[in-house]
Structure 1
Amino acid sequence: MIESTAQVAIIFGLLAAVVHYFSDRIREYKKYHKELLSFAAGISLTYLLLFLLPELYEGVQELQKLLFLFVLFGAVMFHIVEKYIYQHKKKKKIIEDLSAVHAVSFFTYHFVIGVVIVNLLNRDALLGALFFIPIMTYTAIGQVSLKEIHAKVTEKKLVKLFLASSTLIGIIEAVFIQIHTKVFYALLGFVAGAMLYHVMRESIPSEKEGNALFFLIGAIFYTIIILLMWSI
């Protein structure tokens, strides 16, 4: 792996760790939260439909139709975990266990994101950057953060720091341990499924919430960036 690429990946990981750790504080500034959430949703959906899914389609040559099972798994896993937690969040007997499950799923998802970032950067620096931007905007502005994980899990600073560093840990692992192309596309499919769920379920404001103009601006903004990359 080229040293400069590893350095860029680690910088991305450090930025992700900082954003994760302070994401709850970022959300305390609610004045423009709806506008920013709509903007982030526009970016995420545009990236997902115009870039990530077409990129994922190349993996069909490696995994054939099995690839889409990983996409399904990513979406289903997060739906089941979060739905079950929210349905039982008032039951004290199991809340700690459920919160631990949520913490594990949080760490796993962002660890995989770290691995994917490194492998995308290995292919092209722009691929990694295009992937990193919507991930970070969603993390900073979206509704799912470390604050959503029960206080019993994150009240210890070392545990919170460990969870916040999940992307960085995934990046460091991927820097030193290369994975097979089939494994990469399987992980990319998992991330695509989880991202699709998050964008459609949580990032896009429903009904009267959000701001359509900011959503459109985000979509147009990232469409232009992707089109510029296609022209390179």
Structure 2
Amino acid sequence: MIIPILLALFLSIIHFFFESYAHHLKKIDFSFISFSSGLFITYIFLSLFPELLTGHSLLGTNVFFIALWGFILFHILEQYVFKYIEDDRNKLKGIIGVRTSAFFINHVVLGLALVFFFKTGKITLGYFSIVPIFSHILSSSLIIEHLHHRVRETLLGRIISSGSLLLGAIIGSIAIIPGPIYYGLFAFMTGVLLYIIIRDTMPTFKQGTPKYFLTGVILYILLLFVESIIV
């Protein structure tokens, strides 16, 4: 599984250096984030969800139940911070902590998913996943920049953040996981990713740019069309 690790390493290096420049892109970030959101939400619905159907043969309808709990648990965690931390300063720290941790887990999950496609013989999908993953990790850097730029001012913080994708790929490559457990984890990861993209990544109200969002959607559909021709 050297290829997905090399791909994850390449994306992690780009991520590391991009974080140094994220604060320079505030004037165009919502347009890019809208584009990335359209690309990634299409990736979830048209690539990740169909993979859950493969897991259905091993886990039955439980595979969708597991995906639901991935979504629910992250929602409950964020709501807990909002409702049960009374001090505004600590609440802000809690929200920043939850969302920064969510993006870290998000990137680990994407690293696992990248390896997953190669392990299950979906080589073309694995390569094509680079496009939505690439745009998503860049947009998540911009979002964290808006939340709190000091989160990643330290070298260690940048290494941990950018290395999370590579960490997920390494774990996925060396771990020997039975099929049912693999698809269970994949379902949970899909639920987590769906929550993150809807709650924390997609621009809201006036911040969003529909034409860029639709451009992202159309681009990934075109990529799938190209994939169908190649395969």
SS in 2 for 1:36: helix
Tell me how far apart the structure 1 counterparts of residues 25 and 100 of structure 2 sit (CA, whole Å).
24
Q: Measure the CA separation in 2 of the matches of 1:218 and 1:211.
A: 11
Residue among 37, 41, 51 paired with 1:41: 37
Residue 22 (structure 2) pairs with residue 26 (structure 1) = yes
- In the alignment, the residues of structure 2 paired with residue 109 and residue 219 of structure 1 have an alpha-carbon distance, to the nearest angstrom, of 20
Structure 1 200/95 Cα, relative in aligned 2: closer, same or farther at 3 Å? closer
> Paired residue for 1:183, among 181, 184, 200?
181
Q: Is the 8 A contact 1:40 1:218 kept in 2?
A: yes
- Write the letter of the residue equivalent to 2:125: L
Distance of aligned partners of 1:229 and 1:89 in 2 relative to their CA distance in 1, 3 Å threshold: farther
Does 2:104 match 1:112?
A: no
Residue identity (%): 26
Q: Secondary structure at the match of 2:5?
A: helix
1:67 & 1:40 partners in 2: Cα distance?
27
Residues 46 and 100 of structure 1, relative CA distance in 2, 3 Å threshold: closer
> Relative to 1, partners in 2 of residues 1:70 and 1:27: Cα closer, same or farther, differing over 3 Å?
farther
**Counterpart code for 2:21:** R
Map of 2:65 onto structure 1: 69
C-alpha deviation, 1:160, in angstroms: 4.0
* 1:48-197 → structure 2 map (5 Å cutoff): 48-85=44-81, 88=85, 91-92=88-89, 104-122=101-119, 123-142=121-140, 144-145=143-144, 148=147, 151=150, 156-197=154-195
User: Taking structure 2 as the reference length, what is the TM-score of the superposition?
Assistant: 0.80
1:77 Cα deviation after fit = 2.6
Tell me the CA shift for residue 30 of structure 1.
Answer: 2.1
CA distance in 1, matches of 2:91, 2:30: 33
User: Contact 1:17 / 1:166 at 8 angstroms: preserved in 2?
Assistant: no
1:3-22 → structure 2 map (5 Å cutoff): 6-16=2-12, 18-19=14-15, 22=18
Contact 2:34 2:202 survives alignment (8 Å)? yes
Q: TM-score, normalised by structure 1?
A: 0.79
Q: Deviations over 1:63-121 (max 9, x none)?
A: 11211232112212322333444564954567767766655554444323222211212
Secondary structure of 2:208's partner?
coil
Work out whether residues 89 and 95 of structure 1, in 8 Å CA contact, stay in contact via their aligned partners in 2. Answer: no
**Structure 1 residue 224 displacement after superposition:** 1.0
1:222 is matched with which residue?
220
What is the distance in 2 between the residues matched to 1:93 and 1:33?
Answer: 27
For residues 86 and 122 of structure 2, the distance between their equivalents in structure 1, rounded to whole angstroms, comes to 43
Write out per-residue CA displacement over residues 167-221 of structure 1, whole angstroms, 9 at most, x where no aligned residue: 2112122222232222221222122112222222233333333221111211111
Change (3 A) 1:196 1:158: same
Which 5+ residue runs of structure 1 have no aligned equivalent? none
Displacement after TM superposition at 1:222 (Å): 0.9
The number of residues matched between the two structures is 227
SS of residue matched to 1:145: helix
Amino acid of the residue matched to residue 210 of structure 2?
A
